[in-house]
A and B are shown apart, each in its own frame.
Chain A
Amino acid sequence: MTANLLSVRDLKVSYRVGNGHIDAVDGASFDVPRGSIVGLVGESGCGKTTVARALTRVIADNARITGGQILFDGKDIAAIPERQMNALRWRDIAFIPQSAMNSLDPVYTVEYQLNEVLRRRGGLSAREARMRCESLFEMVGIEKGRLRDYPHQFSGGMRQRVAIALALALNPKLVIADEPVTALDVIVQRQILDQLRELQTMLGISVILVTHDISVVAYICDRTVVMYAGRVAEAGPMAGVLTRPAHPYTMGLRNAFPDLAGAASGTLTPIDGAPPNLAEPPPGCRFAPRCPFSIEVCSTESPPLAEIVPDHRVACHRASEAPVLREIAARTETWLAHA
């Protein structure tokens, strides 16, 4: 048994658009240890959803996995035939989408939709499925009387709990949650995240939590993978990455989000500009156009993802100067001056 439930190696996913293509994920590598929550964080458009969906191999019509390996339980699931992949779906790898409203079929009750996976995918009998539905609802804290309700009859937070129940239905090893709390207000966000953490610990499963909000990562994740423009900028244990970030992008993100626990941590400073157009990514480091610390080499050579301290990887030419850069980055003017 490998220590990592999932190891993504040099993953490449590209979208065909018109005559060209967008390399939305361009060589991403990261690990998901067993029994941990890994936060995949980055601004909108950085390729997080593309990575998440590539792991299920249910991708857009115009998308293609063009390279790399997805080692799940030691087996490269990027290379297995579709039939074998389909057998893994939901039984081993489940998914919690951003909007449970749109991801639940409006014309069926939630019980129908739970039964659908329990019976069609899990092979449970009608009786077993009914009991499982009730225990799943108990797990996520919804009274079982509501099983007969339709998706639109639930509040946003409740629907997200239904989505969690649905994801846990077949005891998967890995749950991928794509922005599971983004649409909710902060109080409900915390409740849902607490519940997710509790269930993850209880069941000993692994979770990939995709979010644009670094405070969500700080709140429940064990590890962090920071993505920028289709590549991994920094990855490692949550505490190491967030308290001692070594990539200027991570430093910037940390300044840009309020603390989920409610503590006011000074003024918020957004990173000026936006991620690059991936149809024509800038040469060298993709963060260079927005980076307050960029030097000459940054715009010609792409920095490799290298381990700076054990288990903490960074892709930045100036990673060795991280302690100094962190101090400069903590000052608001750094980000304003650059703009």
Chain B
Amino acid sequence: MSHLKAVASRTLQLALVLWAVVTILFLMFRLMPGNPMAAYIDPTFTVEQQQALMAQFGLDKPLWEQYFIYLGNLLQGELGQSFRYREPVAERIFALLPNTLILTFSSLFVAYAFGILAGAYLAWRRGSAVENAAIPLVLMTRAMPEFWLGMVLLAVFSFWLGWFPAGGTRPAGADYDSLWALYTSRDFLSYLALPALTLAIYSQGLPLLLMRSNMLDVMKEDFVTMARIKGLSNWTVVVRHAARNALLPVMTSFAIAVGYQLQGNVVVESIFSWPGLGRELVNAVSASDYPLAQGAFLMIAVVVILMNLIADMLYALLDPRISHA
């Protein structure tokens, strides 16, 4: 029962957050000074032509009416028309979303798998030469600008060694029977490798440092000392008790990392010409294509909010103090 209530209140909370995001996005693009369509209105248009264009996009109505139309449309999954492409925003976004998600999750998966293992290892080898060498290195990867890292990887692995293609998602002219066929092809993986690696290197520091410091804290807990007094093996003590407990907060940080990563994607997608939401968002903003920018923003927000929900559920699943309250 209390479980059901928790889920219900959490869902309500998410709905409110989503509504706030939607409203802010609406106001952000409407309240900017000037005619929102200025960039798309030819100066030679007559006033009638301009008004017809505005009417076509619903911009002639009062603000509150626009707001309700906008909300109503959203509920039906309708995100409006792109000024620039003159096609539905939703179509465009859903075509790009998989690319972004694949890039984000594959790089984060690598970053977390590596970060968790390396962080646990460094905590275990606390004070050793390995640790002393590794920590500054990790801090360095955190300080490197993404675009610089991307360029270096591009220069080395693509231009110099020629191991990976320089950008895009598929060889020129390649055609696939389905999206599934594309995403599972070897070509796609080789295109994915460099941008994903760039993001993975950029993001592994967070889980690594977090895991390490959690481990160091957990190792001081009584139950770890007790595990030693029980004569359990070092492996059992470190992995089954210390690492298992230290993992909990790292899993939650995954959700935050996804949000971070979606921002980070903007840079990496641009460097590697990766057709994702981030790159599209930048293009849309610089081209004053407000419906598209608004749609892309919204999509990113939805992913972040969903990830928070997933992280909560994951935490509850992994922590019996929550699941067996």
- Which chain A residues have a beta carbon within 8 Å of chain B's beta carbons? 56, 58, 86-91, 95, 97, 99, 102-109, 116-117, 120-121, 149-150, 152-153
Contacts and interface: CB of A to CB of B under 8 A. Distances in A.
B231 A121 contact: yes
Contact-size category for B: 20 to 34
Nearest to A93: B229
Interface in B122-154: none
A58 B231 CA distance: 9
A107 B244 contact: yes
Contacts, number: 65
A3 B244 CA distance: 44
Nearest to A149: B324
Interface string B224-244: 011111111100100001001
B190 interface: no
Contacts of A153: 324
Contact of B230 (A89, A109, A150): A89
A99 B221 CA distance: 11
A102 B231 contact: no
Contacts of B225: 58, 103
Nearest to B225: A58
7 A-B pairs with least C-beta separation = A89-B231, A102-B222, A103-B222, A150-B320, A105-B223, A103-B226, A58-B228
A89 B232 CA distance: 9
Most buried by A among B221, B228, B229: B229
Nearest to B248: A107
Nearest to A153: B324
B143 to A, nearest CB: 31
A254 B151 CA distance: 76
Taking chain B's interface residues, is the majority helix, strand, or loop, or is none over half, making it mixed?
Answer: helix
22 contacts: A58-B225, A86-B231, A87-B231, A88-B231, A89-B230, A89-B231, A90-B230, A95-B229, A97-B222, A106-B245, A106-B320, A107-B318, A107-B319, A107-B320, A116-B236, A117-B232, A120-B236, A121-B230, A150-B320, A150-B321, A152-B320, A152-B321
A327 B111 CA distance: 73
Contacts of B230: 89-90, 116-117, 121
Given A102-B222, A107-B319, 19 more contacts: A58-B228, A86-B231, A88-B231, A89-B230, A102-B221, A102-B223, A103-B225, A104-B223, A104-B226, A105-B227, A105-B241, A105-B245, A108-B320, A109-B320, A117-B230, A120-B233, A121-B231, A150-B320, A150-B321
A69 B232 CA distance: 25
A152 B322 CA distance: 10
A42 B44 CA distance: 96
A90 B245 contact: no
Contacts of A121: 230-232
Nearest to B324: A150
Interface in B95-113: none
Given A106-B245, A107-B245, A150-B321, A58 B236 contact: no
A215 B162 CA distance: 79
Interface in B299-318: 318
Interface string B62-87: 00000000000000000000000000
A91 B230 CA distance: 8
A109 B321 CA distance: 11
A224 to B, nearest CB: 24
Contact of A90 (B229, B233, B320, B324): B229
B223 A56 contact: no
Nearest to B322: A152
Contacts of A58: 225, 228-229
B226 A120 contact: no
A40 to B, nearest CB: 17
